Amino acid sequence: MDTERDKGRMKLENWVRVRLNESQMLVYAAEAEARGIPISTYLRDRLASADLMREELASIRAAMIDIGETLDELRDQVEKQPIASIDEKQATSEPSAVQIETLLLLRAMTGIQTLQMVTAEIERQGLKPFRIPGPPTRSR
């Protein structure tokens, strides 16, 4: 007989056997026990979580490609303008307070891995990434 709880759940009928070494088994069993769930549920949740992370990473990579393409287009537009070159402008102009504040707020909301990817893309574009002057306030 189906209970209310069973109606909302997908029936799990397929089995997979997995071999683990003793240390893996002990670690996974301890983690499952700490969460109060069977080890099979714990491992299934870990697999689902890994799938989610893989999807998120693919999404971030796609966004980085889009950003790179947009930067390429913007760079091409800037190069066509009869103003000082990018190198001259970067070397001579100081960023405004609004630009620095915006940059710092965005950096505070961004993880270190994303910041590193963006910095690498800026360097790939042949630009010099903005660095906060002075000694670092914390190690990264």
| Residue-range definition of the domain harbouring residue 28 | 15-82
Give the end-to-end CA distance of the chain in Å, rounded to a whole number.
Answer: 56
Q: Is residue 3 part of a domain?
A: no
Which portions of the chain are predicted below pLDDT 70?
A: 1-9, 81-93, 132-140
Kindly state whether residues 92 and 74 are assigned to the same domain: no
Neighbours of 42 (CB within 10 A): 19
Kindly state whether residues 64 and 109 are assigned to the same domain: no
- For position 140, what pLDDT does the model report? 44
- For position 46, what pLDDT does the model report? 94
What's the total number of domains in the chain? 2
pTM of the model: 0.43
DSSP letter for 36, please. Answer: T
Provide the token pair at 112. Answer: 């270190």
Which amino acid is residue 128, in one-letter code?
K
Q: In whole angstroms, give the CA distance from residue 45 to residue 51.
A: 10
- For position 92, what pLDDT does the model report? 58
Q: Is residue 1 part of a domain?
A: no
pLDDT digits (tens, 9 = 90+) for 96-120: 777 777 777 777 788 888 888 888 8
Quickly tell me which residue has 């760079």 as its tokens.
Answer: 75
- For position 32, what pLDDT does the model report? 95
Q: In whole angstroms, give the CA distance from residue 84 to residue 23.
A: 62
CB 75 within 8 A of CB 86: yes
CB 112 within 8 A of CB 140: yes
